[in-house]
């Protein structure tokens, strides 16, 4: 009997952890086929509780692994996008400065030409 209580306590703890830390997973617990009995009056024994606890732990472990891999991919994609945007913005800024630089070079060339022509006229 103590084992059954221990199993029930463990099931409650895992279920509470899922409910608290992974609400997106918790809503699927009601749909878990292991929670839907086939018989009208099913016998719940130690073996059934152990199996259910293992299925909860497996579900949680799989979700955590999948979620971590997903988050790693999201972070990687986000970092790549930020780098691309940063480089793109820097190139745009340099490109925006380019016409001003060209105009400045033209003005300098004109001024130099005008100066040289004025010097030649003297």
Please write the tens of the pLDDT for every residue from 8-59.
Answer: 999 989 988 888 888 888 887 765 545 555 666 677 788 988 998 999 999 8
pTM above 0.75, yes or no: no
On whether the CB atoms of residues 43 and 84 are closer than 8 A, the answer is no
pLDDT reported for residue 75:
73
Task: Please report, for the chain, the start and end positions of each structural domain, with discontinuous segments joined by +.
Answer: 2-95
> What mean pLDDT is predicted for residues 87-111?
65
**C-alpha to C-alpha distance for 109 and 112, rounded to whole angstroms:** 5
pLDDT tens per residue across span 53-91: 999 999 888 888 887 777 777 777 777 777 777 766 676
């Amino acid at each position: 009997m103590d084992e059954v209580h221990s199993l029930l306590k463990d099931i409650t703890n895992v279920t509470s952890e899922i409910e608290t830390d992974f609400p997106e997973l918790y809503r699927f617990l009601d749909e878990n086929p292991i929670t839907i009995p086939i018989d009208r009056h099913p016998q719940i024994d130690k073996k059934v509780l152990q199996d259910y606890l293992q299925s909860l732990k497996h579900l949680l472990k799989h979700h955590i692994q999948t979620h971590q891999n997903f988050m790693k991919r999201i972070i990687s994609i986000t970092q790549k996008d930020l780098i691309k945007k940063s480089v793109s913005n820097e190139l745009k800024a340099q490109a925006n400065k380019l016409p001003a630089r060209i105009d400045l070079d033209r003005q300098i060339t004109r001024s130099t030409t005008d100066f040289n022509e004025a010097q030649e006229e003297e």
